[in-house]
């Protein structure tokens, strides 16, 4: 696939206290944890959400890579469901030092612009703060994430509205695909 060089700004955000979470208005979506680690489901969500935003780091992962990642203690996948249809997801990854990273977050294209992102982010952040209640982990002392200028335009504003604070910004020229992959090969052909 053809690539291009582009300047990418990456913003790093955090919460250091659960009281910093500013809940969004409830939305007509149910947020449920996928309790059975499923490489197929996680890869589907990764491509369905990230395909239009040039998420590529996990594309070379094998089934074994996905399985090992999902089997790590405390890694959780939370799905937003709209009338029985997966609308988006959040993936949490804790550290032994009491930090929880919101590694992947987003909505499938058909569900953007409907208020579901704020609701899902509220629930995912709350679940990051209470990871120790479900796992043999130290209490969460910090929840953090990063987003970049390749992500959807609503991403950074949503994080800021939910009480995340910017703690670092980096800009670099990166090699990216010339056009988004989409949720499956040739989606944009």
Q: Is the dihedral of CA 128, 129, 133, 135 positive or negative?
A: positive
Radius of gyration for the chain, computed over Cα atoms and rounded to the nearest angstrom = 16
The total domain count for the chain is 1
Q: Give the percent of the chain with pLDDT over 90.
A: 82
pLDDT digits (tens, 9 = 90+) for 85-126: 999 999 999 998 999 999 999 999 999 999 999 999 999 999
What pLDDT score was predicted for residue 20? 98
Q: Is residue 31 part of a domain?
A: yes
Task: Please compute, for residue 12, the number of CA atoms within 13 A of its CA located in the half-sphere on the CB side.
Answer: 7
Instruction: Report the distance separating Cα 61 and Cα 55, nearest Å.
Output: 13
Q: Is residue 30 part of a domain?
A: yes
> Strand 142-148 relative to strand 99-107: parallel, antiparallel, unpaired?
parallel
Q: Is residue 84 part of a domain?
A: yes
Q: Is residue 123 part of a domain?
A: yes
Residues 6+ apart with CB under 8 A from 119: 24, 25, 26, 27, 29, 31, 80
What global pTM score does this model have? 0.94
Domain CATH number, residue 109: 3.40.630.30
- Provide mean pLDDT across the span 37-50: 94
Confidence of residue 55 (pLDDT cuts 50, 70, 90): confident
Domain span at 158: 3-177
What pLDDT score was predicted for residue 139? 97
- In the predicted structure, residue 1 carries a pLDDT above the cut 80: no
Q: Is residue 188 part of a domain?
A: no
Q: Is residue 182 part of a domain?
A: no
Q: Is residue 112 part of a domain?
A: yes
What pLDDT score was predicted for residue 184? 62
Q: Is residue 185 part of a domain?
A: no
pLDDT digits (tens, 9 = 90+) for 70-86: 999 999 999 999 999 99
């Amino acid at each position: 696939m053809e690539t291009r060089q582009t300047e990418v700004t990456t913003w790093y955000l955090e919460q250091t206290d659960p009281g910093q979470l500013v809940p969004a208005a409830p939305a007509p979506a149910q947020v449920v944890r996928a309790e059975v680690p499923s490489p197929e489901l996680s890869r589907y969500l990764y491509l369905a959400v990230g395909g239009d935003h040039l998420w590529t780091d996990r594309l070379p992962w094998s089934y074994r890579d996905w399985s090992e990642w999902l089997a790590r203690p405390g890694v959780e996948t939370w799905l937003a469901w709209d009338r029985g249809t997966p609308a988006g997801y959040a993936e949490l990854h804790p550290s032994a030092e009491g930090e929880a990273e919101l590694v992947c977050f987003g909505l499938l294209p058909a569900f953007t612009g409907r208020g579901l992102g704020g609701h899902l982010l509220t629930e995912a952040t709350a679940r990051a703060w209470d990871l120790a209640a479900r796992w043999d982990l130290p209490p969460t002392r910090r929840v953090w994430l990063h987003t970049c200028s390749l992500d959807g335009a609503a991403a950074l504003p949503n994080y800021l509205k939910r009480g995340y604070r910017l703690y670092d910004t980096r800009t670099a020229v990166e090699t990216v695909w010339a056009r988004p992959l989409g949720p499956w090969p040739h989606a944009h052909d």
